[in-house]
A and B are shown apart, each in its own frame.
Chain A
């Protein structure tokens, strides 16, 4: 209910349409372009992370979290195994490049197809199970995939070490920065990443705003009612799961290029857990929620782990230095604390909800000022 009122308050006083085209139509595309334009300068700022490469990772995880939110936020499905599709995408690309000598595009495409097919089959097998059983079965499948990759079948996956040095021919690395080198033109890897990110996010946006996506929302709201009103709830859920697996694999393919390989870590339970936490932290009821969650989570992680190496004014005081280095190595504690605070302040709407409320207040204040 607060969702509707916030939107009303935010959009009150703004023009509804320009030349007959509703402004609402451009909100998401414009927002996505702003994300990719602002992310790197903000991250590269010395007061933030200080090194721009973190922006690559954040962008990839934003896409991964958005793919997960197709399930949690839009369909109301909880999966504890989303890492399996991230990992399948990454491993397929790495295996294709190194073991079969495929061109990168073919290896990446194979990853997407394989992951979407796996998602479809897994969902078909478990979709009729109740919520918690469904979640547990996704976990079981993800662990099974992790086990297979760890066993290094036919020397394909590299076991515990994974696959290293699996880099596409067009990727050039210079002093820690990656460049794309195609047909004599060289540009930043981030630029390609940004384009793929925007296109993929627009595709996800189209899925959720399409008639199909609205059916998913109805199922999230009340699956019993949706069924009695004539929806084949299970089939909708299977296809939501398939699309989530497809976009997660795309994030996996990108992370493979970014890391120049695939490691077992990508298939781990902690990846599945992180994406859930990011999505909830950011606000699963909003399209931009998971993006905000991924940004805050990864930035906070980087910020907190880097804390004890930072030179603070406090280090001048011997007492404070001892205190800080003792406490701040528990960065996961602070990440957890952040999560708890956000969930208590804004249970369903997360950080993005807090931000929207803040913006709404500012708009209301400005609107009031104009009126006087």
Chain B
């Protein structure tokens, strides 16, 4: 068991281990000098500037600077309680930040209400399955697609709701491998199908930036791999910028373009999978623990 993660990342690990002396010095500087080395908030698809949230004495998210350029798949990792999900809640304004700013597509959206953000292209899926439980899979996706069309509020009293945006919803269910489950009530779907339905609903908002909170949690190894492949494929197809919270390190290292490591609410390091894996502080704070867990 303990061999698996190193084996999985072996192709990347081998070349860097040859130049070990250089790398030992480099990661020390890299995250310090340039946590967001290449993009200003105005130019990023999604950026946070000094984003902070405290709950009483506890600072759950502490001055997080992120800048995710368009088209990047960015993983957010960190030990339990590092503030990953809170960061998502701050970015979507499910929880208002104590301090700091959020930028989306070159626009400061810090003051924008949560329900307006999906209409500007910011969508999320949830860590624990959040669905319209009593409604069918199709209706779950269709209502979101309807909302994407109508805007945050629409007093549309004519016609039949169930016939609005059906084609889009069916297409999304197909794409997520839920074609046969369209008429199944959401609460009766298997856990994995519920996870995929959550992603389908997020996609129904027609996002440019998608936040996925542990999309593979609770899945078996095969399903996890398939979902990771699906996420990678969707990103390419739909030209998405993605922020992904994920605990499975083999997935994180294989599909993400860059990784941001959170620890105790702050950014510990940001870099390519290879850079992050070689970062001593990351190893100390996080990766070692995960290797043990695996």
Contacts and interface: CB of A to CB of B under 8 A. Distances in A.
Given A4-B185, A228-B115, A228-B130, 11 more contacts: A1-B188, A209-B160, A213-B161, A215-B143, A215-B146, A215-B154, A221-B132, A224-B94, A228-B118, A229-B118, A231-B153
Given A4-B136, A225-B130, A211 B114 contact: no
Contacts of B205: 229-230
A11 interface: no
A214 B156 CA distance: 10
A207 B156 CA distance: 9
A230 B183 CA distance: 24
Contacts of B144: 229-230
Contacts of B164: 211, 214
Interface residues of B, number: 47
B1 interface: no
B115 A232 contact: yes
22 contacts: A1-B185, A209-B161, A210-B160, A211-B156, A211-B161, A213-B161, A215-B161, A217-B135, A218-B143, A221-B132, A222-B133, A225-B130, A226-B132, A227-B94, A228-B92, A228-B115, A229-B123, A229-B144, A230-B151, A230-B152, A232-B113, A235-B153
B193 to A, nearest CB: 14
B284 interface: no
What 10 A-B pairs are tightest by C-beta distance, nearest first?
Answer: A214-B161, A230-B118, A221-B132, A232-B152, A211-B156, A211-B161, A232-B153, A235-B153, A225-B130, A218-B143
Interface size class of A (residues with CB under 8 A): 20 to 34
B170 interface: no
A215 B154 CA distance: 9
Interface in B198-226: 201-202, 204-205
Contacts of B159: 210-211
Given A212-B154, A215-B146, A227 B114 contact: yes
B124 interface: yes
B291 interface: no
Interface string B128-151: 001111111001000110111011
Contacts of A321: none
A289 to B, nearest CB: 15
A211 B139 CA distance: 12
B186 to A, nearest CB: 9
